[in-house]
Chains A and B, each alone.
Chain A
Amino acid sequence: MASVVSPITGAVPMPPPPARGAPFRVMPGFGLSLGFTIFYLSLIVLIPLSAVFFKTFTLTWEAFWHAVTSERVVASYKLSFGASLIAAFINVIFGGIVAWVLVRYKFPGKRFIDALVDLPFALPTAVAGITLTALYSSNGWIGRYLEPLGLKVAFTPLGVVVALTFIGLPFVVRTVQPVLEEAERELEEAAASLGANSWQIFARVVFPTITPAMLTGFALAFARATGEYGSVIFIAGNMPMVSEITPLFIITKLEQYDYAGATAIAVVMLLASFAMLLTINLLQAWTRMRGGKR
């Protein structure tokens, strides 16, 4: 899921491992490095994460079901998943345009802008949260112009969408960019020489090439947005049933010392993110197939 974070490799799939005929190994340190990897992985990730599932097993099925389907938590699912979908959709459209412009056109300041696209990865989420809130509140730089139009952004679900759009911005750009760079321009040239206009070239040649990458970027942005906490809680207003996201609801449960209830909701979110992880892996396999050449 994080391969997108890496412009060294881009979304470029890992090369297939070299075929090894002989079982004889020249390279040293296999046992040590693999042993340490598995030990550290278990200690830091697997054992702690399994605690969530073991804790859930202490609940009866009825109690679990009650905890994860209460009216307030269902409202938070709707907000978290709904706002994440909208934000990911905004990012697919505008992120796609940004990727296209960065790959295909020349304009002043392009390299600076290219570097700045990763800002949402590097900027701590709490900083993003308070800054967006300041901008979109009724006396903020942007909010003061939206308020007269009847658009309240800060402390409404719309604010959640704004924060999640910011957080997800680099994902689509960074997955589509390498695919566009690798795309075979000859195909577009061929289409042009056969008389296709620029819209036809885009719709019939370019769009099918970048579709898997666009979908991967969408899924990555969506997955990140559903779990996001820091940037949202400042701008959301956090009103139960209206602008309360699921991660915040988990924290609320924790503060009431309802550990079992918090864990039950966490399990629902974990299962959702595992499902998305699987989807993303399948999408990336598809991207690789479409890429073909590698």
Chain B
Amino acid sequence: MSAVLTPPVAAPAKPARRGELPTASNVFEPAWIRVVLITIALLFLTLFLFVPLVAVFAEAFKKGWQAYLAAITDPDAVSAIKLTLIAAGIAVPLNLVFGIAASWAIAKFEFRGKSVLLTLIDLPFSVSPVISGLIYVLLFGAQGWMGPWLQAHDVKILFAVPGIVLATVFITFPFVARELIPLMQSQGTEEEEAALVLGASGWNTFRRVTLPNIKWGLLYGVILCNARAMGEFGAVSVVSGHIRGETNTMPLQVEILYNEYNFAAAFAIASLLALLALVTLAIKSFIEWRLHESQQDDTDPAIQEHIA
């Protein structure tokens, strides 16, 4: 159908970038509508994205470099940064291992109840962060299921670092799996089967065949997981107990400073988190670009054949 309508292209088609038009002639709207729509879109995004982003940094540097440096090198701030790194450093690898195991089982095998399993993996995304924190209070709190036992054995989970790590693991649970499952499903099992038939061990097949195929998707999941792990507020706020210098993560430190009307310091730490968000978006765009390129490579022969 499309072959009939589109004029034959002599040169190999330049890979169309995402959103790029093949030709300008099939835009039917008059120019003024285009201008109006672009203006509305840009105004909306300016109001809701650009201005807040600029404001974070403007507020952070309101009192100058000195105040900024003092704010982010404050001992409480440093310990908040450390705790944030610890929580993310535990949560991300755990969910990475889970993501690989889950996507291997779901993408490479057929079994009953697969769609139920997929829905269950998504659950943490549909639970309010506050409820995610609440469940750990119910489990480990003084009146919780395990509370008396924990008290008797002098183990602190709630209002301590383990509680923060658990809440972070829960919140970021689906990220890696969600990225890998569709990717591995679209790749099928042929390459792995070939390797196995040729005598490679299961581990070698995974390491030499599967891993190179999924590396970008894996990285994608990891950076999103990491951004959320470092930025989580609601769930961590419920389980942390807000002990300064001990159980405050960076977002919680931002809240405390803000509520003390220490706006410059609050925004200084907030600016570090905003920077993390920008780096995450930059890496994400880079990976999308890489994936796009590799997909182009995959489809190219088909296009060539089609044109010929």
* Residues of A participating in the B interface, judged by any CB pair closer than 8 Å: 1-3, 5-9, 12, 14-15, 17-18, 20, 25-30, 32-34, 36-38, 40-41, 44-46, 48-49, 51-52, 55, 94, 97-98, 100-107, 110-111, 113-128, 130-132, 134-135, 141-142, 165-166, 169, 177, 181, 185-186, 188-189, 192, 198, 201, 223, 226-230, 234, 247-248, 250-251, 254, 257, 259, 262-263, 266, 269-270, 273-274, 276-277, 281
Contacts and interface: CB of A to CB of B under 8 A. Distances in A.
Given A41-B120, A97-B44, A125 B49 contact: no
Contact of A6 (B131, B178, B206): B178
A231 to B, nearest CB: 8
Nearest to A200: B28
Interface in B25-69: 26-30, 33-34, 37-38, 40-42, 44-45, 47-53, 55-56, 59
Mostly helix, strand, loop or mixed at chain A's interface?
Answer: helix
Contacts of A106: 20-21
B104 A29 contact: yes
Contacts of B105: 30, 33-34, 37
Contact of B217 (A8, A15, A113, A230): A8
A169 B48 contact: yes
A45 B41 CA distance: 39
B33 A198 contact: yes
B5 interface: yes
A127 B56 contact: yes
A134 B263 contact: yes
A135 B59 CA distance: 10
Contacts of A116: 45, 49-50, 53, 281
Contacts of A250: 130-131, 134
B251 A17 contact: no
| Residue among B28, B51, B108, B274 with max Cβ neighbours from chain A (10 Å) | B28
Given A119-B277, A266-B134, A8 B173 contact: no
Given A33-B101, A33-B105, A135-B55, A17 B21 contact: no
Contacts of B48: 165-166, 169
Contacts of B125: 1-2
Interface of B: 1-2, 5, 18-21, 26-30, 33-34, 37-38, 40-42, 44-45, 47-53, 55-56, 59, 98, 101-102, 104-106, 108-111, 117, 119-131, 134-139, 141, 143-145, 166, 169-170, 173-175, 178-179, 181-183, 185-186, 188-189, 192-193, 196-197, 202, 205-206, 217, 220, 224, 227, 230-234, 237-238, 250-252, 254-255, 258, 263, 266-267, 270, 273-274, 276-278, 280-282, 284-285, 288, 291
Contact of B5 (A52, A131, A189): A189
Contacts of B278: 122
A134 B37 contact: no
Nearest to B279: A122
B120 A45 contact: yes
B267 A125 contact: no
Contact of B49 (A111, A119, A234): A119
B52 A135 contact: yes
A26 B192 CA distance: 9
A117 B230 contact: no
Given A94-B41, A131-B270, A230-B129, A51 B139 contact: yes
A230 B128 CA distance: 11
Given A37-B105, A131-B59, A135-B55, A94 B40 contact: yes
B19 A49 contact: no
Contact of A122 (B189, B263, B281): B281
Nearest to A277: B126
Contact of A48 (B19, B135, B182): B135
Contacts of A127: 56, 231, 251, 254, 270, 273-274, 277
B202 to A, nearest CB: 4
B26 A189 contact: yes
Contacts of A114: 18-19, 285
A177 B42 CA distance: 16
Contacts of B267: 130-131, 134
A8 B183 contact: yes
A74 B77 CA distance: 38
A48 B174 CA distance: 16
A291 B91 CA distance: 37
B28 A198 contact: yes
A190 B143 CA distance: 68
A41 B233 contact: no
B255 to A, nearest CB: 6
Contacts of A101: 37-38, 41
A198 B37 CA distance: 14
A271 B305 CA distance: 52
Given A247-B129, A273-B126, A8 B38 contact: no
B101 A130 contact: no
